[in-house]
Amino acid sequence: MELFPNFSRFRIIMDLNQLYKELNFRFSRSSGSGGQHVNKVSSQAELLFDIAASLALSEEEKQKINQSLAGRINQEGILSVRCSETRSQHHNKELTIRRLEELLRQALRPRPKRKKVKPRQTNPKARLKRKKAQAEKKALRKKIALPDS
C-alpha cells in the first residue's frame, strides 16, 4: 500500500517510503466522547516529522515546506499534526498521515505566476474624482477632536 496515493499527480521528487520511515508518533489521552473509557486509553495521535533531518526531501522541498508551513513548525524544525476525532488510536494515526499528505501537497504545489494587469485607459479624471469622493466620505466618519479648554 502506498502511503500517499494522491501524490502521483504532482511533480515531487521525495521518496515516499523513506518519508514513512521518518514519521514518529506520540499518543495521549484525548477529550471527547467515550465515557470512562476516555480516561484509560491514549487515543489521540500526534504525528511528528523532522523536516531538516529528512532524507526523503530535497533541499528545495525543505525550503518550500518551511516557508509555507512556518506556523505549524516548532523551533526545533518539527512539523506536528494531531488528531483526536475518533475513539480508535489506529484510525487517528491514519488521519494524521492523511493530513500530513494534504499539508505537504499544498506546500509543494507549484504556485501560478501572477499576471500583471494594466490600469484601464478609460477616463482617468473620472477615476480620480471617484477616488477623492470616497476619501472625503471616509474622512467624515472620523471622530472630531475637541479642542482642550
**SS3 state of residue 50:** strand
Domains of the chain: 5-108 (3.30.160.20)
- Residue-by-residue pLDDT tens, the chain, 149 positions: 444 555 444 444 556 777 778 888 888 877 766 666 666 677 788 889 988 888 888 888 888 888 888 888 888 888 888 888 787 888 888 899 889 888 888 888 888 999 998 877 778 888 899 999 999 999 999 887 888 76
The helix or strand, by DSSP H or E, that contains position 47, with its residue range, turns out to be strand 44-50
Instruction: Tell me the pTM.
Output: 0.61
Q: Give the residue among 130, 148, 146, 147 at the shortest CA–CA distance from 138.
A: 130
Q: Give the residue among 56, 47, 59, 52 at the shortest CA–CA distance from 23.
A: 47
* Contact yes or no for 105/7 (Cβ under 8 A): yes
Output the furthest CA–CA distance in the chain (Å, rounded).
Answer: 80
| Side-chain-facing half-sphere of 29: CA atoms under 13 Å | 9
